[in-house]
Amino acid sequence: MSSKTNTSLWARWRNLSNDSPTKIVVVAVGVCLACSILVSSAAVLLKPRQQENEAQARQQEILKVAGLYRADADMETLFEAIETRYVDLVSGDYIAANDVPTPTVLTLAREHDIAGIGKHPRHVPIYHVYENDVLATLILPLIGKGLWSTIHGFVALAADGNTVKAISFYDHAETPGLGSEISSPDWQAKWQGKKIVGMHGHMQIRVIKGQVDPASHHADYEIDGLSGATLTANGVTNMVHYWLGEHGFGPFLARVRVSGPEGG
Ligand SMILES: Cc1cc2nc3c(=O)[nH]c(=O)nc-3n(C[C@H](O)[C@H](O)[C@H](O)COP(=O)(O)O)c2cc1C
């Protein structure tokens, strides 16, 4: 009985003209359904691979700002030279290596959110690089809005907690040839040796519009602008000010400047 009904349904479907509204709607819905199942399955199945790629891209950037990256070497092996530590952004303290903190999110008041990120974890990983068993470099993560996209980066600081050794910006969607010049090694090299805060502890580092005047009193804190990309460059300055300022790593860096990089 049921097979007879099925046969007659199939026969009725076959007899329907291709121009019939019923057939058009059923075929369109069927195609949409099949495509959406295909796309969502691909998204679910590829998620672990995507996360793995993101973690590798992160590791590569950390190694680059640490000055340890070599294209011909195994990244996992290179990364063994780097120590990961967690910092409590509120207290400015390191979290003890065996103390796994409860994940806590800090929601930012609009007036403090100059990086345009809304919220971020309270406990954030930073990276230590040792030279001859001495902690020589602190690598801190950065994240903030550019003109079109969220920009990710890392800054490597000397043990004084106030001198930039290297910086990198990656994983963004600023316009090629304009805002995306923030990823150019030549421009990133201009950050090397720049100071973050001045003698009185105020944030001074910034990307300016135009070229830095080497004779200026501010030359130690200023980085050449990117022609035609001032809005992205302003986003970079805001991101750096947020993360190295009082609501980001400021309390931690204040301790480093007094007690050294191990005592943050
Ligand atoms: C299609 C298009 C893409 C742009 N992309 C960027 C960009 O990625 N970053 C940026 O700062 N400005 C970008 N701009 C330019 C900005 O609108 C703005 O003019 C520029 O940031 C001002 O910088 P300037 O004062 O150095 O000229 C773009 C403009 C256009 C028309």
User: Confidence band (pLDDT; 50, 70, 90) for 124?
Assistant: very high
**The whole model's pTM is what?**
0.86
| 51 or 136, which is more confident | 136
Residue 144 Cβ contacting ligand 1 at under 6 Å: no
pLDDT at 170: 93
Q: From atom 19 of ligand 1, which residue's Cα is the shortest distance away? A: 228
Question: Cα separations (Å) of 255 from 95, 126, 162, 197?
Answer: 14, 15, 11, 14
Residues in a beta bridge with 143: 152
Same domain for 31 and 109? no
Same domain for 104 and 221? yes
| 26: containing domain | 1-80
155: phi then psi, degrees, rounded to nearest 5: -120, 135
pLDDT at 193: 98
pLDDT at 5: 65
Pairing of strands 123-131, 150-158: unpaired
Q: By C-alpha distance, which of 94, 172, 99, 100 is closest to 126?
A: 94
Look at the chain and report how many structural domains it folds into.
Answer: 2
Residue 1 clears pLDDT 60, i.e. is over it = no
Same domain for 11 and 56? yes
Last residue of a domain, one of 53, 80, 107: 80
Last residue of a domain, one of 65, 80, 95: 80
Tokens of 60: 């590569």
Share of the chain above pLDDT 70, in %: 97
Last residue of a domain, one of 36, 52, 80: 80
Residue 158 Cβ contacting ligand 1 at under 6 Å: no
Same domain for 45 and 75? yes
Same domain for 246 and 259? yes
Same domain for 65 and 50? yes
Cα(231) to ligand 1 centroid in Å equals 6
Ligand 1 atom at minimum distance from 233 CA: 11
User: Confidence band (pLDDT; 50, 70, 90) for 264?
Assistant: low
Provide the 8-state DSSP code for 182. G
Same domain for 207 and 244? yes
pLDDT at 178: 98
Same domain for 76 and 26? yes
Same domain for 125 and 201? yes
